[in-house]
Amino acid sequence: MSNYHIKHLEEYWQVYRKSVRNPESFWEEIAEEHFLWRKKWDNVLSWDFSKPEIKWFEGAQLNITENCLDRHLASRADKTAILFEPNNPDEKAEHITYRDLHRRVSKMANVLKSQGVKKGDRVCIYLPMIPELAISVLACARIGAVHSVVFAGFSASALSTRINDCDCKIIICADGSFRGNKTLDLKDIVDKALENSPGVKTSLVVRRTNTTVVMKEGRDVWLDDLFDKAEDVCKATVMDAEDPLFILYTSGSTGKPKGMVHTTGGYMVYTAYTFKNVFQYREDDIYWCTADIGWITGHSYIVYGPLANGATTVMFEGVPSYPDYGRFWGIVEKHKVTQFYTAPTAIRALAKENLNFVEKYNLSSLKVLGTVGEPINEEAWHWYNDHVGKKNSPIVDTWWQTETGGIMISPIPYSTPTIPTFATLPLPGIQPALMDENAKEIQGNQVEGRLTIKFPWPSIARTIYGNHDRYRDTYFSAYKDMYFTGDGARRDAVGYYRITGRVDDVIIVSGHNLGTAPIEDAINEHPAVAESAIVGFPHDIKGNALYGYITLKETGEGRDQDNLRNEINQLIATRIGPIAKLDKIQFTEGLPKTRSGKIMRRILRKIAGKDTENLGDISTLLNPEVVKSIKNNALV
Ligand code: 6R9
């Protein structure tokens, strides 16, 4: 028997050592015992990072939806697969059972087939967080079509770029979406996008908001008409383990977005295994990840990982601030959520508000809390631990990437002792290394360097769609025979990893390497500070100096700004050293963020460097409007 479910630290080490000694047999055992294959593999792994070419379970055949749906029908047909919580708290939550999900996915798959979609075709999905999103994803997988989900908050131009890059002929979209007290006209955005994407011949429109939309004759079709008529049985298309499952775009530091391609067999095995262990998932749990399915977190840990384990996965349509800042906690209480997985930016936003919003709910069902997306600062970690987890639920700080497909470095709750801001230990099968400036591996502990991975794991992206050279150059050229993550990390005395941020966020001040994360941590400790971002700007003597953009909490507004600046610098000097003091501090009403909540330091860097002519595309930001006010009030 494979040790599929790790239950204590000693067991983790046993499993980890085994996984590194012989990765092939480690993953083979897991793949054998826990999944449904139409045909077993001829070869577990072949790889060559110099090409790069990576193949897992070659020769095997399967359909991932048989693993996520069909095989649960025997024992879990009436169990809730998707628990849909609508934006409007007065609208009833929907419990979609495995039987029902299987039926709806089959119908949707038949609709796609009726529109001429075939194995290997790319299907663009641009939907809000409603059940049809998960159903469309699975329907594509059912018939071997490759889904390309685009987050339904992206602009028409961002959508069109992504459609054209992978040449989609069909899009699944909606009339509109509900976000808090707003209704967004999604179909209008799609119409604009399709003006520049003439390759799209069909758009299937889901009715959600009932807003009036223009339906283009011959192209636009209401989904419900087709769906109602569709057969509810659809045979799963048999896929090779290395057939592509989906494309998901991630922004690069330059140029157009990268369409990361994930394949079927390895992705399934890895996301299912990590879901089970990182969330210590048990049969009766109610698991909730607040991400959008438009991001990798939603693909792997709302849809595939949970469903492959027969879990109940919550899908939330709304926002954390509607109808008030207690919404998340209200949902946890209402559905007795056992695992809650969110982003540091959401935690910081909620921590700014009155404690009463969290204290009035009963959160005693929670067993595991998770974070993902960026380094979590110490203050946010403690707030999460104290007020949400009541010091009783371990926090898993999960480090991973769109490219890695699944969680790579993370505590295993109830096994790995946690430390604030540390992602801690590599999961079984993951072999991290830290590299120095001379591209040499740094041995030992209490060291810091660039984070790479030495050996393939089953869910690594196999290529960038249509651009394998860029895939090699971006991830495999910096260090020979290693995957380069683009992140920096520190390994502490006991071998725990702390991710220090993108290495492009490292700023060298007077010859000292300063990571942005620890400085921001120090700043955020100030009671008046809500959030901060620092960047470097050219300085005659120091080479670079530090520029801080800081948003204040309500309690800080109206305070003397020079006093605040002094106090903040004092704090940095005490926590990190005078070298890390900020030369300039600009108080701002917000920080520019991507839709997944990452601070766009690229823009802040340009403003600090007086290079405001060409800020690049800011249309995909969550809050493009703050850029203007930051620019107008810049201290340059
Ligand atoms: C899953 C996801 C990947 C980048 C990654 C890193 C940052 C993610 C983190 C984290 C520190 C964590 N990141 N999780 N940094 N601690 N727990 O977010 O994928 O959107 O592709 O972003 O996010 O910088 O390289 P993606």
Q: For the segment 97-152, what is each residue's pLDDT rounded down to a tens digit? A: 999 999 999 999 999 999 999 999 999 999 999 999 999 999 999 999 999 999 99
The answer to whether the beta carbons of residues 240 and 262 sit under 8 Å apart is no
Q: How far is the CA of 373 from the centre of ligand 1 (A)?
A: 4
* Cα–Cα distance for residue pair 131/49, rounded to 1 Å: 38
Helices 561-575 & 516-524 angle (0-180, nearest 10): 130
Is the CA virtual torsion 331, 68, 242, 113 positive or negative? negative
Length of the chain equals 636
Q: How many CA atoms lie within 13 A of 569 on its CB side?
A: 17
Residue 311 Cα to ligand 1 middle (Å): 25
Whether 255 shows a pLDDT value over 70: the answer reads no
Q: Which of 293, 372, 407 to mutate to test the pocket of ligand 1 (most atoms within 8 A of CB)?
A: 372
Among 55, 43, 57, smallest CA distance to 456 is for 55
Summarize pLDDT for 438-458 with one digit per residue, the tens. 889 999 999 999 999 999 999
Count H helices, E strands: the chain? 21, 31
Mean pLDDT of 570-587: 88
Nearest to 45 by CA among 60, 65, 64: 60
341-367 burial code (b ≥16 CB/10 A, e <16): bbbbbbbbbbbbbeeebbeebebebbb
Residue nearest to atom 19 of ligand 1 (CA): 401
Ligand 1 pocket test, pick from 487, 496, 503, 602 with the greatest ligand atom count within 8 Å of Cβ, gives 487
Report the alpha-carbon distance of residue 280 to residue 7 in Å, rounded: 8
Distance in Å, CA 408 to ligand 1 centroid: 10
How far apart are the CA of 33 and the centre of ligand 1, in A? Answer: 31
Give me ligand 1 centre to Cα 563, in Å: 35
Which residue, chain included where needed, has tokens 């008030």?
324
Helix, coil or strand: residue 206: strand
**99, burial (CB in 10 Å: exposed 0-12, middle 13-18, buried 19+):** middle
pLDDT band at 252 (very low <50, low <70, confident <90, very high): low
Q: How far is the CA of 254 from the centre of ligand 1 (A)?
A: 18
3-class SS at 563? helix
Quote the percentage of the chain above a pLDDT of 90. Answer: 83
pLDDT (0 to 100) of residue 506? 67
**Ligand 1 center to 558 CA (angstroms):** 35
Query: Is residue 254's pLDDT more than 60?
Result: no
Distance CA 535, CA 523 (A): 13
Quote the pLDDT of residue 70.
98
Output 6 or 492, whichever has higher pLDDT. Answer: 492
Query: How far is 560 from 158, CA to CA, in rounded Å?
Result: 42
**Distance of alpha carbon 466 from alpha carbon 260, whole angstroms:** 10
Q: Report how far residue 105's alpha carbon sits from residue 135's, in angstroms, rounded to the nearest whole number.
A: 5
Ligand 1: which atom is nearest the Cα of residue 398? 17
Atom 7 of ligand 1, nearest CA residue: 374
Residue with tokens 């775009």: 249
Lining residues, ligand 1, CB within 6 Å? 250, 295-297, 372-375, 397-402, 423, 485-487, 499, 502, 596
Give residues with Cβ within 8 angstroms of 182, minimum separation 6: none
What average pLDDT does the structure give for the chain? 94
Q: What is the pLDDT of residue 616?
A: 79
Q: What is the pLDDT of residues 389-422, one digit of tens each?
A: 999 999 999 999 999 999 999 999 999 999 999 9
Q: Using alpha carbons only, what angle is made at residue 126 by residues 120 and 127, rounded to the nearest 5 degrees?
A: 120
Is residue 2 over pLDDT 90? no
Range scoring the smallest mean pLDDT among 123-137, 364-378, 510-524: 510-524
Do the bridges between strand 177-179 and strand 182-184 make them parallel or antiparallel, or are there none, so unpaired? antiparallel
Cα radius of gyration rounded to whole Å, the chain: 24
Ligand 1 atom with the smallest distance to the CA of 499 is 11
Nearest CA to ligand 1 atom 2: 401
Q: Which range in 17-31, 369-383, 493-507 is most confidently predicted, on average pLDDT?
A: 17-31
> Which range has the worst mean pLDDT, 375-384, 451-460, 516-525, 527-536?
516-525
* 604-622 pLDDT per residue, tens: 999 999 988 888 778 888 8
ipTM: 1.00
Asked if pLDDT for residue 281 goes beyond 60, the answer is yes
Choice from 271, 384, 395, 401 to test ligand 1 binding pocket (greatest atom count within 8 A of CB) = 401
SS (H, E, C) 284-353: CCEEEECCCCCCHHHHHHHHHHHHHCCCEEEEECCCCCCCCCCHHHHHHHHHCCCEEEECHHHHHHHHCC
- 100 secondary structure, DSSP code: H
Task: Please state the three-class secondary structure of 467-535 as a single string.
Answer: CHHHHHHHHCCCCCCCEEEEEEEEECCCCCEEEEEEHHHCEEECCEEECHHHHHHHHHCCCCEEEEEEE
Atom 17 in ligand 1: which residue has the minimum CA distance?
A: 399
Predicted confidence at residue 513, as pLDDT, reads 62
List the structure tokens of 321. Answer: 């601030």
DSSP per residue, 378-446 = HHHHHHIIIIISTT-S-EEE-B--GGG-S--B---TTTSPP-TT--BSBPTT--EEEE-TTS-EEPSSS
Q: How far is the CA of 528 from the centre of ligand 1 (A)?
A: 27
Phi-psi sector, 121: left (phi>0), alpha (psi -120 to 50), beta: beta
What is the average per-residue pLDDT within 493-511?
82
For residue 174 the two structure tokens come to 């909606």
**511: confidence class by pLDDT, cuts 50, 70, 90:** low
Distance from C-alpha of 622 to C-alpha of 116, rounded to nearest angstrom: 35
Helical ranges in 182-222 per DSSP H: 186-195
d(CA 348, CA 531): 8
Q: What pLDDT, on the 0 to 100 scale, is given for residue 256? A: 73
Q: What Å distances lie between residue 96 and 85, 102, 304, 353, CA to CA?
A: 11, 10, 16, 33
Amino acid identity, position 300: S
Rounded distance from Cα 173 to ligand 1 centre (Å): 28
Give nearest CA residue, ligand 1 atom 10.
374
Instruction: Give 533 Cα–ligand 1 centroid separation in angstroms.
Output: 16
Q: What CA–CA distance (Å, rounded) separates 444 from 446?
A: 7
